[in-house]
């Protein structure tokens, strides 16, 4: 419970410092709602590489794997206090809409 509380506080804090309007720049296949649902988690993921940062924005998006069997993969380039952090995101369509997954081991500078 404590872990989720800390993550929630982090995401609330990031939301006040995010500098993006939707739709995001680049080639993302995610619609604006899915982008909005994903962006704060992507910022938090980028924050693991630049922990003292409190200013994030998505500068580019590109498709790494085209849609197949209801899923596709993108890479979002996030400016975290002047540092480019590359955050790969897998999007999955299901009967209730869409979800996403970010693997910490795939995030890189």
- In the chain, where are the structural domains located? 2-106
Q: How far is the C-alpha of 71 from the C-alpha of 98, rounded, in Å?
A: 9
Structural contact between residues 20 and 43, judged by C-beta atoms closer than 8 angstroms? no
Using a cut of 0.85, tell me whether the model's pTM lies above it: no
Q: How far is the C-alpha of 71 from the C-alpha of 86, rounded, in Å?
A: 19
The pLDDT of residue 16 is above 90: no
pLDDT of residue 20: 84
Q: What angle do CA 46, 49, 59 make, to 5 degrees?
A: 40
Query: Around Cβ 66, how many Cβ atoms within 10 Å?
Result: 8
Structural contact between residues 41 and 10, judged by C-beta atoms closer than 8 angstroms? no
Q: Which residues pair with 72 in a beta bridge?
A: 91
The pLDDT of residue 86 is above 70: yes
**CA atoms within 13 Å, Cβ hemisphere of 61:** 22
At residue 18 the predicted structure's pLDDT band, cuts being 50, 70 and 90, is: low
Mean per-residue pLDDT of the chain: 88
The pLDDT of residue 40 is above 80: yes
């Amino acid at each position: 419970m404590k872990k989720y509380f800390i993550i929630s506080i982090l995401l609330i804090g990031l939301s006040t410092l995010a500098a993006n309007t939707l739709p995001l720049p680049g080639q993302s296949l995610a619609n604006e709602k899915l982008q909005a649902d994903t962006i704060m988690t992507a910022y938090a993921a980028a924050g693991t590489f630049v922990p003292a940062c409190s200013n994030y924005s998505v500068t580019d998006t590109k498709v790494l794997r085209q849609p197949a069997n209801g899923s596709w993969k993108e890479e979002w380039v996030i400016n975290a206090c002047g540092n480019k952090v590359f955050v790969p995101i897998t999007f999955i369509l299901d009967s209730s809409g869409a979800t996403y997954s970010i693997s910490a081991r795939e995030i890189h500078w």
